[in-house]
Amino acid sequence: MTSSRVQSILAFTLSRCLYFGLGISFIINKGKNLSILACLIGFIIGYFILRYITNKDFKSFSNSLLGKIIIVFLCIYITNYTLIAFTILASNYYLTNTPTYFIAIPLFIVILYGVKCGFPTITRLSELLIIISVFIFIIISISIFVNIRIDNYLPMILKIDINFIECIISTIVYSITPNILLLYIVKDYNKNAILKGYIFGSLSIFLTIIGIIGVLGSNLASIYRYPEYKLLQQINILNFLEKQETFFALIWFIDLLITSLISQYIISTIFKNKYNTIALIIVIISLIFFINNYQNALFIYNNTNYILLIPLIIFLFIKSKKTKSL
Amino acid sequence: MKKILLILLLILCTGCYDYNELNEIAIISGVGIDKLNNEYVVTYEVINTEASKESSNDIKKYNVKGNGGSLSEAFNNVNETLAKKAYFEQIKVMVITKNVNILDISDYLFRNEKINTNFYLVLCNDIDEIFDFTSVNEPNNSIAIYNLLKQNDYANITNLFDLKINTLIEGYDISLPLITLDNELSLKTIGIYNNNKFIRYLNDNEYRIYKYLSNKKDILINSNDNSIKIYNSKLNYNLENNSITLKYEAKAEINSLNISYDLRDINSYNELSNEFTTVTENEITNFIKQLQIDNSDILNILNKYKLKYPDSSITFKDLTINYDINVKVDKAGTAFKEVK
């Protein structure tokens, strides 16, 4: 039985996981200054969607073939995304000469090892890492928010166009869809615990977007591949602790690690003995067709919101239908 | 066995490709960029890691120079001249001349993952003169310039290279400090731009006015041989009925007096406040009028106006600015009367 605290922690992490290298950059580029408002609307709508979903019981649907297909697809997609986000950032900023294989494979080995240790180990790890995550987030918030310039938020003229709508939809998808994995893995989930985790996760992303636009401005933020990482580069604590972005980026790596551990653990429970082969196929496909192929990596960047909207809609639709029949 | 394999893989597979010994890298503390005859000239100021701290005879830094038709070509040429691998993470300042188009050099600097763009952009007239100089106080000129910027309250996040470029991208005007060599490196004025185009350097008086408008402290204002020192100031803009009012409020301390005033009497403070308010208003009005003639909105006045009236097509030159200046002299220092 998974405790409410662990469920909140996992919901917090999963609500944030798709924003690094993807969600934040995509939303700011589309929404510019209005992305703050779009995110707020998206998070509020997302809250009601998650509340609706968590009212349902997924036990029987999870055991159905369609349910398993959707879950496996989600797990593979999210693992692939985490590997791309981690490897591209590492190869851009840290290990510029190292082949991407040598960055992605050790990470995947860690994931495999975590999966072998089992779900209790993953939850214990997330309980430990969340403390570091929260600690870093508080330091970042304090040091960044003093550097915010109000002018960067202006002009914020409400213009409801396709980009604004896309920002709202993307926010909902990025923060809700990964939580489906939690509803699958934790059979006796606590609705309030998950919603609590979602609220804190969304709030942290919302504050991050406010920080990015307030410090960098939406134009500059949309130029960067990783605006959230560039924000970390601006941190200067009391004029002596600077250039600590490598350490502060841990907050994002923790999200990616826990998310990929959960995704892979779910695949291991579905495929059981064949898991090693499946895991090998996933990492090979990810390396050859996505990490080392910029067109496909860009496809993921541009279309994740629509691709992950499909399983979300199916989940909503199937569940509604089933409730009616009952 | 699995655990041993795992540990081995983790140790062997990460970081080795990018491993560099400290004495194999050239730590660059500052970069100079000039454009002469359609060619970029790039100069690195490199910290000599071989120099010992104790020995004053050791050369603490050296310069490396190269040129090229494009900025990337010039950077590549300098890198090839270096015997070590260039390391750009510790750049403190980038010195450019007025010939350099800032936006032209930005793309390369933003895109290059090896260059940390958290540095300050400064102007100079002659890069060789600045980089070849060796100060007694600080042998590394880039660090000396950085210290100068800190001393002048310039070294803060809003003046970092990235954020200066952001101002340019958004279509606004910038100013950059000018570093000159006057026995020692010094910062005596700023260069003003109309967006990306260099206009001119401010004269001493204009730079003084600019400093107090930028809320810098301890700036002197003189009138009839009396002088005050601003210790607290605030610049705001009031936007009403399609007009902008520049509201400047300052608190000042008497610096020196040459006319008889009894500072035990409250009226003396009022008289001084009125006198200096008039002087400051004239200074600010003339300064901003000159900026309007130069079409360089370094105080971001038009930006404030456009935030309230985004549909307006008015230019900075044509903007009518009202002034509401108030200087309050409320500190006498340690003497109640002039010393004569």
Q: pLDDT by residue (tens digit) across B252-299?
A: 888 888 777 777 778 888 888 998 899 999 999 999 999 999 999 999
Reading the block at residue A57, the tokens are 């019981």
**What residues of A are in contact with residue B17 (Cβ under 8 Å)?**
95, 97-99, 102
Q: How far apart are CA B179 and CA A3, in angstroms?
A: 62
Kindly list the domain boundaries of chain A, sorted by start residue: 4-325
Question: Does residue B109 register a pLDDT over 60?
Answer: yes
CB proximity list for B19: less than 8 A, separation 6 or greater: none
**What residues of B are in contact with residue A149 (Cβ under 8 Å)?**
158
Cβ contact (<8 Å) for B15 and A95? yes
| d(CA B167, nearest CA chain A) in Å | 9
CB proximity list for B208: less than 8 A, separation 6 or greater: B219, B220
Nearest residue of B to residue A223, measured between CA atoms: B110
The model's confidence at residue B313, banded by pLDDT at 50, 70 and 90, is confident
Q: pLDDT by residue (tens digit) across B201-226?
A: 999 999 999 998 988 888 888 887 78
Q: Cβ distance A256 to A83 under 8 Å?
A: no
Residue A323's φ and ψ, nearest 5 degrees, are -65, -40
User: What is the model's pLDDT at position B11?
Assistant: 63
Q: Which residue has the higher pLDDT, A105 or A81?
A: A81
Secondary structure of residue B163 in the 3-state scheme = helix
User: What is the model's pLDDT at position A174?
Assistant: 95
| d(CA A319, nearest CA chain B) in Å | 42
Question: Does residue A326 register a pLDDT over 80?
Answer: no
| d(CA B156, nearest CA chain A) in Å | 9
User: What is the model's pLDDT at position B242?
Assistant: 78
Neighbours of A205 (CB within 10 A): 25
Q: How far apart are CA B151 and CA B164, in angstroms?
A: 20
Cβ contact (<8 Å) for B18 and A223? no
**What residues of B are in contact with residue A110 (Cβ under 8 Å)?**
10
Residues B16-33, mean pLDDT to the nearest whole number: 85
Residue B302: which H helix or E strand, with range?
A: helix B301-308
Q: Cβ distance B279 to B223 under 8 Å?
A: yes
Neighbours of B38 (CB within 10 A): 6
User: What is the model's pLDDT at position B259?
Assistant: 72
The top-level CATH class assigned to A4-325 is mainly alpha
Nearest residue of A to residue B17, measured between CA atoms: A98
Q: How many Cβ pairs within 8 Å bridge chains A and B? A: 76
User: What is the model's pLDDT at position A322?
Assistant: 44
Burial class of residue B190 (count of CB atoms within 10 Å of its CB; 0-12, 13-18, 19+): buried
Cβ contact (<8 Å) for A216 and B157? no
Q: Which residue has the higher pLDDT, B206 or B11?
A: B206
* Domains of chain B by start residue, with CATH: 23-201 (no CATH), 203-340 (3.30.300.210)
Q: pLDDT by residue (tens digit) across A211-252?
A: 999 999 899 999 988 999 989 988 887 777 777 888 899 999
User: What is the model's pLDDT at position B41?
Assistant: 95
| d(CA B307, nearest CA chain A) in Å | 6
A225: left (phi over 0), alpha (psi -120 to 50) or beta: alpha
Q: How far apart are CA B241 and CA B279, in angstroms?
A: 28
Residues B42-57, mean pLDDT to the nearest whole number: 77
Cβ contact (<8 Å) for B157 and A151? no
Question: Does residue B54 register a pLDDT over 70?
Answer: no
Reading the block at residue B184, the tokens are 């020692």
Nearest residue of B to residue A101, measured between CA atoms: B13
> Nearest CA to A216 among A148, A156, A164?
A148
